[in-house]
């Protein structure tokens, strides 16, 4: 990137933008809603990556709706947030998807949930079901967190007979996803996706009277059953950044250590699942046997195998003493030895390499256009890692390599995760060696109203982004963008033109946050025959 941060801000102003707030790591620029596309094109051409967009009901603040488009200048470690306003009686903004395809989902989401129309693009329901009543928007302030739309609105629009899918979409399962693969013979020619079958309304809950700032970390940790600590930490980083709360250095180290422990157990879980999908069940069992050591360590450090509950505003509630330090170092040593043996054998199995190599390819240009994150990005040649690009917590105090491959296939995504396990082991050892003394939390703090902040953390699956606008006693608006949300759209590019047999591994290669069993519906374009296959997913 040849331009400096000041150059980019100046150009945005010259184009007609107004700088509303300039911070050390981010800038908020108000832009005309009918020219959003021009500003987005400039940022994209300047090398920025699209992170997410956020629709906000700001009528209680300024009688307007607002949309925030968040771009990351990774090479500069800065964020640019474009803010466009729309009046209630004419709530629309210009879509940027023609310039930034990665904005597709989040535009459809704020259309569904806030009622702001993205113009000059094709629209459809994304989060809400097709029979959701018109004019009812869950993230508008008048919509109460426990409100249910009128039953009559559904009954009027539904046909007399309605098919209800049963099985993978059972109410007891979490996060079911739905794929339709269109094939000619055994070749996939197109992919359709439908998710959001179980929308838990976590963002809405956080702004409800049931929650306070102090309680939201426990809610955030339940966003994901694998990387919950990532979400609670990211929420707190956004809140602490907005409020100007200085977290003690020892607490930053402890958070970083636990984040890397979480990365280890997540990658080991995925490697086991990948081995199973490749027909190497011995690898699956050994990966999960080794992972158990990490789970035991997590419980020893925090008191729980998962949903650790140690994050609080301004720090952590549990310290790491000498016994925990000794246990951590011994675990890292044995983990590295056992993992080396596993990967040496696993990567020498002919079926593993032959089935993973050259399948599910995502080119670097496609990865760039879709702003994919994490191992998916790094396997396609994009050097993106928030720990390096936007050093946070204690990561600025450690040295590590960012694994990078250019093949963009399933094998490359596997190898990225293998390399990251080794790097995480070394990061934890460095953090333990350099663990400073001092307090682990802030005793007193204040959270001003109306402050905004963006925070990002490198989760095991990739960049996790949280955006917050502070309110009275709780967030006015809290937006969460998980890594899987950013990576799922790339599956269409990975799957088209590939054999049907490669679909399960390719879908699993992004480490999607799915339910334990998902169903893929397959249409044969020549015969019209419909069949289904099952995808087994651990976790």
Cα–Cα distance for residue pair 351/342, rounded to 1 Å: 15
Tell me, yes or no, whether 258 and 138 share the same domain: no
Tell me, yes or no, whether 123 and 268 share the same domain: no
Whether 525 maps to a domain, the answer reads no
Q: What is the DSSP string of 24-91?
A: SSEEEEE--GGGHHHHHHHHHHTTPEEEEEEEEEEHHHHSEEEEEEEEEETTTTEEEEEEEEEEGGG-
Contact 230, 480 (CB under 8 A): no
pLDDT tens string 450-506: 999 999 999 999 999 999 999 999 999 999 999 999 999 999 999 999 998 898 899
What's 97's domain CATH number?
Answer: 3.30.460.80
Q: Is the pLDDT of residue 350 over 80?
A: yes
Whether 515 maps to a domain, the answer reads no
Q: Is the pLDDT of residue 320 over 90?
A: yes
pLDDT tens string 500-516: 889 889 989 999 875 33
Whether 59 maps to a domain, the answer reads yes
What's 265's domain CATH number?
Answer: 1.10.645.10
Tell me, yes or no, whether 279 and 382 share the same domain: yes
pLDDT at 168: 40
* Length reported for the chain: 539
pLDDT at 159: 40
Q: Is the pLDDT of residue 387 over 90?
A: yes
Q: Is the pLDDT of residue 534 over 50?
A: no
Whether 198 maps to a domain, the answer reads no
Tell me, yes or no, whether 272 and 385 share the same domain: yes
Q: Is the pLDDT of residue 151 over 60?
A: no
Q: Is the pLDDT of residue 536 over 60?
A: no
pLDDT at 171: 37
pLDDT tens string 111-136: 999 999 999 999 999 888 878 888 99
Weakest mean pLDDT among 27-36, 48-57, 431-440, 525-534: 525-534
Whether 345 maps to a domain, the answer reads yes
Whether 209 maps to a domain, the answer reads no
Q: Which of 406, 435, 451 is the last residue of a domain?
A: 451
Q: Is the pLDDT of residue 158 over 60?
A: no
pLDDT at 539: 36
476's enclosing H/E stretch is strand 475-481
| Mean pLDDT score across all residues of the chain | 90
Tell me, yes or no, whether 277 and 135 share the same domain: no
Bridge partners (DSSP) listed for residue 531: 522
Whether 504 maps to a domain, the answer reads no
Q: Domain count for the chain, please give it.
A: 2
Whether 315 maps to a domain, the answer reads yes
pLDDT tens string 260-280: 999 999 999 999 999 998 989
Weakest mean pLDDT among 147-161, 179-193, 348-362, 413-427: 147-161
pLDDT grade, residue 530 (50/70/90)?
low
Q: Is the pLDDT of residue 435 over 70?
A: yes
- Domain encompassing residue 85: 5-157
Tell me, yes or no, whether 275 and 415 share the same domain: yes
Residues 301-321 have a mean pLDDT of 96
pLDDT grade, residue 378 (50/70/90)?
very high
The pTM (predicted TM-score) of the whole model is: 0.91
Beta strands in 360-461 (DSSP E): 452-459
Q: Which of 126, 157, 188 is the last residue of a domain?
A: 157
pLDDT grade, residue 178 (50/70/90)?
confident
Q: Which of 115, 138, 157 is the last residue of a domain?
A: 157
């Amino acid at each position: 990137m040849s331009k400096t941060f000041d150059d980019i801000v100046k150009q945005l102003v010259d184009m007609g933008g107004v700088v509303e707030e300039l911070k050390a790591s981010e800038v908020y620029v108000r832009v005309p809603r009918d020219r959003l596309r021009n500003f987005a094109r400039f940022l994209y051409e300047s090398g920025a990556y699209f992170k997410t967009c956020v629709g906000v009901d700001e009528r209680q603040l300024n009688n307007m709706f607002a949309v925030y488009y968040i771009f990351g200048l990774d090479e500069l470690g800065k964020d640019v947030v474009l803010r466009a306003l729309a009046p209630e009686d004419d709530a629309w903004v210009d879509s940027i998807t023609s310039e930034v395809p990665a904005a597709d989902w989040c535009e459809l989401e704020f259309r569904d949930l806030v009622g702001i129309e993205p113009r000059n693009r094709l629209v459809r329901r994304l989060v809400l079901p097709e029979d959701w009543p018109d004019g009812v928007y869950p993230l508008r302030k008048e919509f109460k967190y426990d409100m249910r739309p009128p039953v009559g609105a559904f009954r009027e629009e539904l046909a007399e007979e309605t098919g209800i899918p049963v099985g993978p979409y059972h109410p007891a399962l979490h996060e079911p996803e739905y794929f339709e693969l269109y094939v000619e013979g055994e070749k996939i020619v197109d992919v359709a996706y439908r998710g959001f079958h179980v929308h838990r309304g976590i963002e809405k809950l956080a702004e409800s009277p049931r929650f306070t700032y102090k309680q939201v970390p426990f809610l955030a940790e339940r966003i994901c059953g694998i990387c919950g600590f990532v979400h609670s930490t990211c929420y707190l980083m956004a809140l602490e950044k907005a409020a100007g709360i200085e977290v003690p250095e020892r607490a930053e180290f402890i958070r970083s250590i636990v984040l890397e422990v979480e990365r280890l157990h997540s990658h080991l879980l995925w490697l086991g699942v990948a081995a199973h999908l490749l027909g190497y069940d011995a690898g699956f069992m050994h990966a999960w046997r080794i992972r158990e050591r990490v789970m035991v360590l997590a419980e020893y450090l925090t008191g729980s195998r998962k949903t650790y509950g140690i994050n609080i505003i301004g720090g952590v509630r549990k310290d790491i003493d000498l016994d925990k330090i000794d246990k951590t170092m011994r675990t890292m040593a044995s983990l590295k030895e056992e993992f080396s043996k596993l990967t040496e054998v696993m990567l020498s199995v002919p079926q593993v390499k032959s089935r993973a190599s050259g399948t599910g390819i995502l080119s670097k240009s496609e990865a760039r256009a879709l702003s994919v994150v994490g191992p998916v990005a790094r396997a396609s040649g994009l050097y993106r890692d928030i720990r390096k690009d936007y050093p946070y917590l204690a990561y600025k105090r450690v040295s590590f390599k960012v694994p990078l491959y250019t093949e963009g296939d399933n094998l490359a995504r596997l190898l990225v995760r293998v390399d990251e396990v080794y790097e995480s082991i070394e990061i934890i050892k460095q953090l333990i060696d350099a663990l400073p003394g001092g307090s682990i939390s802030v005793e007193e703090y204040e959270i001003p109203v109306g402050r905004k902040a963006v925070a990002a953390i490198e989760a095991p699956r990739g960049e996790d982004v949280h955006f917050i606008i502070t309110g009275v006693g709780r967030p006015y608006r809290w937006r969460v963008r998980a890594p899987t949300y950013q990576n799922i759209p790339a599956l269409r590019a990975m799957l088209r033109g590939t054999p049907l047999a490669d679909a399960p591994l390719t879908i699993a290669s992004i480490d999607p946050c799915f339910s334990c069993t998902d169903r893929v519906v397959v249409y044969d374009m020549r015969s019209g025959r419909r069949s289904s296959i099952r995808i087994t997913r651990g976790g």
